Structure 1
């Protein structure tokens, strides 16, 4: 250990410790630090007296000011509920067309609907409602049962192929698996649907045979022109929107194995006001893409 000496620059005595030529100064604790420690100690003591602090056997010391965060949270929730009650009542009972034309209500729909959709619908339909494989694009594609506000709300309420007693039912037959059509006929229909969608795949003589196949097996649900039937929930086969994919392999799979998508019924899971809010939110999304 080196001998103690006075540092020529600071005037402080050294401790006698030295590391690689660096000598440790015996510098006293700054007075400001003592002041800080004392003030923080006093603050802590005052705080524990004024605010809820120490636990006990049957509760806790509630503080001289009587502050209760639970009461504050309950009051805040009650205030928020009172604010929501006005537009919640309107959403639950007023005409949807009138609500859609009300800018104040639609501002609430866009704000609250975004969170409600994200929590309950986005997992299947995507955050922007543009769908995923097996789940339709409800922001842009034609809606299978119609796209007016009342119809959208009803679909959300009862679901599709769900366990609701009033659910909407839709099922496409398995034409290949159940041996209703041969493999060549299915290939002909796949190419015919490509033709309907704007990608010519058939010669003239093949198209006539395919049109007959379509009329005999598909037109009863999808319509003679393939544009779908909202009464039956059968989709339009002539546009660019395909729930299960529009490439030939996906179309073949649909014709061969059939399809039966399921959407849960939200009645009982969401309130009437929330269901109608979601319907208006979807309607608003669709209006933005037109």
Structure 2
């Protein structure tokens, strides 16, 4: 089975910044040293019958002030088919934001950008400058990677307004909307389900299921299957992707073991979820 891994991060510690990987800066994960080293496409090793047909690189903090530098490094060093999601600061003044977008889209691999919303989602999504800058992304028909907790319904409603006002942007929800918390309980799951249901109505929204290890290192395949299948009921088989979040997967599983676990879930339409949908939503030729 051929996989397009739609959510990976590579690090070049010799040249990039990656301040978030340093032990003295957040997040203060006790096992951060597992990923505090350089990673490239050569680390995406799979054994038959699984093969890597390409990947989508999500910005990883190489240089947030000059995000095109990360793209330049990738395009010079990667041989596999890939698309890239660049870092962007949604709060930049309009002229500076437009200049950065114009520069980024000169790189062939760039299909979109990301500003991690997380706990600041409501403040950002209701900010006038941010909403103006989304208009620039809409003009360019770029993807926007949405990383936030969908259990926060005020933020979800603000996101829904942005989605409706920018129909030419493909909004790709990262990490299944982060449903897993330190205590996986019914109240959190219910809020997450309701939040996803709000935005699933919009056809320019897709979702990636990954990042399980970010909030719960000891997740299991049953939780993964439950979450993926709920996403399928909301979004349908053509708007759901399964990805890895490599190298953060290494907190819990080797790359091979991660995909073996996904295969064991025996979810329907795996070829679409592991390859075809990523090919479509990230404009692989």
TM-score, length basis structure 2:
0.20
Structure ranking higher in helix proportion = 1
Structure ranking higher in strand proportion = 2
Is the radius of gyration larger for structure 1 or structure 2? 1
